[in-house]
A and B are shown apart, each in its own frame.
Chain A
């Protein structure tokens, strides 16, 4: 992955209203810990967050993939998957592509994915076939994970305070 490439999808956690309200309830010194924990939670793993993949759907005659159009379907196969090959199994690249910024300012956390096809699966250009296969758009994933993120942040702040408290 080229670090100079612009992010294909990005999201700033701190901009969310719920997160702003939450940050006001914790001591100022712990905001860094809270934001880092929240970002890591929203990035997720195999059971939640942006790195979560919905279960693979078997497409066949009874359950065909939902193309945007028949023209797209024909073009995909005629061009060997638009030049990228026709996948037979998941590579996990989309999931691994989700990263958080290592900005010098720890109070600004950006989650991004530079995998070129990310926007077609989880972004604004999501294809209806992916939506039908239960892929959620980034905004929805973040909304669905923000409570879990705040819960995790609470636990991290409590641990941090315990260390700070005499």
Chain B
């Protein structure tokens, strides 16, 4: 059984490229926009299209509608993210294929293989994760 963990200080996360590939395999094309202007301080919102290869850490929206090079309204569109299991076979194949390109800014993903049928838990220490077999202890 394969599981994806994060292997660096920071925390689990996938890149825009990995997210795009993931939804592509589900038949959804994603477009990425970065917010560059804010209504509360600039008088208007502005979202500029970015490449999926641009692995920015913040203010990125992944939407399934092509809004052109820029748009002033994206908040009403569904923002796609990755919220499924670490054992998702589609994501595992993407991480294996993309390697480092699958990492979000604060992540370094690693695919770990454990024996089938093991009851496991993911332990985290400063964002670095490791897999442990569940066990009970007394005393």
B residues less than 8 Å from A148 (CB atoms): 9-11, 106, 126-127
B residues less than 8 Å from A154 (CB atoms): 57-58
Q: B138 contacts the other chain (Cβ, under 8 Å)? A: no
Q: B38 contacts the other chain (Cβ, under 8 Å)? A: yes
Give chain B nearest CB distance to A5 CB in angstroms. 29
Give chain A nearest CB distance to B54 CB in angstroms. 13
Contact B9 A165, beta carbon cutoff 8 Å: no
Within 8 A of B (CB), among A132-166: 141, 144-148, 150-152, 154, 157-158, 161-162, 164-166
Interface residues on B, range: 20 to 34
Q: Which of B105, B123, B126 contacts A145 (CB 8 A)?
A: B126
A residues less than 8 Å from B127 (CB atoms): 48, 145, 147-148, 151
Instruction: Return the chain B residue nearest A29 by Cβ.
Output: B41
Q: In the complex the two chains form, what is the Cα distance from A22 to B124 in whole Å?
A: 24
Q: Which of A25, A52, A144, A164 contacts B9 (CB 8 A)?
A: A144
Contact A29 B40, beta carbon cutoff 8 Å: yes
Q: A47 contacts the other chain (Cβ, under 8 Å)? A: yes
Q: Which of A25, A29, A144, A146 contacts B58 (CB 8 A)?
A: A25
Q: B134 contacts the other chain (Cβ, under 8 Å)? A: no
Contact A25 B57, beta carbon cutoff 8 Å: yes
Q: A27 contacts the other chain (Cβ, under 8 Å)? A: yes
Contact B125 A52, beta carbon cutoff 8 Å: yes
Give chain A nearest CB distance to B9 CB in angstroms. 5
Contact B57 A145, beta carbon cutoff 8 Å: no
Contact B125 A47, beta carbon cutoff 8 Å: yes
Instruction: Return the chain A residue nearest B13 by Cβ.
Output: A151
Contact B39 A147, beta carbon cutoff 8 Å: no
Q: In the complex the two chains form, what is the Cα distance from A148 to B126 in whole Å?
A: 7
Known: A145-B126, A161-B59. A151 touches B45 (CB 8 A): no
Q: A28 contacts the other chain (Cβ, under 8 Å)? A: yes
Interface residues of A (CB under 8 A from B): 22, 25-29, 47-49, 52, 141, 144-148, 150-152, 154, 157-158, 161-162, 164-166
13 new A-B contacts at CB < 8 Å, known A147-B9, A148-B9? A29-B41, A52-B125, A141-B126, A144-B126, A147-B8, A148-B126, A148-B127, A150-B57, A151-B105, A152-B11, A154-B58, A164-B38, A165-B45
Chosen A-B contacts, 28 in total, with CB atoms closer than 8 Å, are A25-B57, A25-B58, A27-B41, A29-B40, A29-B41, A48-B124, A48-B127, A52-B125, A144-B9, A144-B126, A145-B9, A145-B127, A147-B10, A147-B11, A148-B9, A148-B10, A148-B126, A150-B57, A150-B106, A154-B58, A157-B58, A161-B38, A161-B59, A164-B38, A164-B39, A164-B40, A165-B35, A166-B45
